[in-house]
Amino acid sequence: MIQQITKGIKISVDVKSEGSFLKESSLHHAFVYFITIENQSKDVVQLLSRHWKILESTNRPQYVNGDGVVGKKPILKPGEIHTYKSGSLITSPMGSMSGTYIMINFSTAQKFNVEVPSFKLNVPYILN
């Protein structure tokens, strides 16, 4: 599990390979990732949007931006945790993802960035 704390917000990431399959005549590798967002600060915060960078060993980087995470914009009081799972498809057997959550602090009305640590998207056989 990968973890990082930014401005009192702890992000934990765990990744699992879901296998490979043919899609449109090319091999794709599926991954599911589980993210835990823990508010270790003293303020109430809300996740507003996400920005992902997906790197593959054989392609250009992909960027994914959007509101919230999996259709939600969680509000976290101090000590609260929000977990979710999502997935990614890549065409090379090795890759990685990293990102940023844009959050707002309700006490100060200030937006701030929370870094999502880089995590690997590697099919199991590539590590042998």
Structure tokens given for 84: 């979710």
Among 31, 37, 32, CA closest to 101? 37
* Residue spans per domain, the chain: 2-127
Residue 74 amino acid letter = P
| More reliable by pLDDT, 126 or 26 | 26
Number of Cβ within a 10 Å radius of residue 25 = 5
Number of Cβ within a 10 Å radius of residue 60 = 8
Percent of the chain with pLDDT over 90: 81
In tens, the pLDDT along 32-64 reads 999 999 999 999 999 999 999 999 987 789 999
Worst-scoring range by mean pLDDT, 43-52, 90-99, 107-116? 90-99
23, 43, 84 from 63: Cα distances, Å: 21, 30, 20
**Local confidence band at 127 (pLDDT 50, 70, 90 cut-offs):** low
Flag whether pLDDT at 128 surpasses 60: no
Nearest-angstrom CA–CA distance, 53 and 70: 17
Whole-structure pTM over 0.85, yes or no?
A: yes
Does domain 2-127 fall under CATH 3.50.50.60? My reply is no
pLDDT at residue 112, rounded to an integer: 98
